Structure 1
Amino acid sequence: MKTFIALFALFSTLPFAIGNPIISPPALEQRQAGKPADIMANLYTQIQAFTGQINSTLDTINAGTTTAQNTTAQATIKDLTAQIGTVGQAAKSQLEAVGKRNVQRYTAGDQEVIAGYMVNIYYEISGCYSRVKFCYGDSFLGGILSPIIQVLMGVFQVVDRVVSGVLFIAGNALAGVFAVVGGVLGLLLKLLFGKCYI
């Protein structure tokens, strides 16, 4: 049920997500955020690469696309989506290995860097998969995306255990951007960021 609510909430916010610019986290070399930020930066970069390939695949789909071409495109999207899940799981494992939260080790600047990557990951996923939904509908989308939602929830929860407060910061950033959406966004933020903004 939570996965269904997350998917519904995610795609109710997509038109707003697509129209907003990507947030630029402070430069890592200036903040020296350490390993958790490096892990999140790497995850974001990998997700960008996969969503870029998905978008390129979708660029080939039009009214004249044949059934065979659609089948091939869907298979490609499924594979790339699975790879997003794989890199997400790897990031989660790396974050878990970092160890317990150490408040003195991480600064407010570190929190900003990591929260920025969390918000950008949200934008990447929501923007890309709104196009998938437009081309292939809810049934196809739900089957491939629900595992990604679960993986991201795990990543965000673990990174918040390592660097306290990043869920709150990222959730507030999204709540500000999507304030017009209201309660539906609140459900998604509750699932991904651990706080309800309804």
Structure 2
Amino acid sequence: MEWLSYLPALSRGALITAGITLSAIAIGAVAAFAAGIARVEGGRVLSLVALCYTELFRGTSLLVQLFWFYYALPLVGISFEPVATGILVLSLHVGAYGSEIVRGALQSVSVQQHEAARALNFGRAQTLIHISLPQALVEMMPAFGNLAIETLKLSSLVSLISIADLTFRAQSIRNLTLDSAGVYSLTLVGYFAMSLVLMLIMRLIERLIRRGAAFPRAAHS
């Protein structure tokens, strides 16, 4: 079949898409926890900084952010390679939306749990690490799973800054062959397959957390 001849190029693009997506999720998760914890436990200044970051990146278009970092930021002497720009912008997007997930989950921990921690003479850091986070993580995972899938889909926007991801290669092949049906059908299948794999990974992580595998000391304390 003629469609099979598209697979090598599309597969190379899919690898780039997967790498950008996984990198953005990993870095964005760090930003999400940092900003989310700052919103809840960081005091007035850190909470305000985290709030400004969250609202800025949630309140503006991801596409415009991508173009600003790639085309406007170099005008003041700061520039990144296209792949680094894509990962950075997607990471900031994940961090902004993920911080609200973290904040909401931390605030959902019952007051009685915090009172028990104070009765045990736990400090704020001990309460956060041993009481709040282990319980909040369970609540966060379904939302983080959805955010991970959304990040994969949004990663197609990096094709607009000349990154040869799956969408970029699909468009290039389509321009050469004019075979819209074949090229884009395979592209849809590619994104769907990657979504399934990502969903399975997130569910595995969620299952491990629910079993207490991620916090063995807290589970036995």
Normalising by structure 2, report the TM-score. 0.29
Which structure has more helix as a fraction of its residues? 2
**Which has the higher relative contact order, 1 or 2, with Cα contacts under 8 A spaced 6 or more apart?**
1
Larger Rg: 2
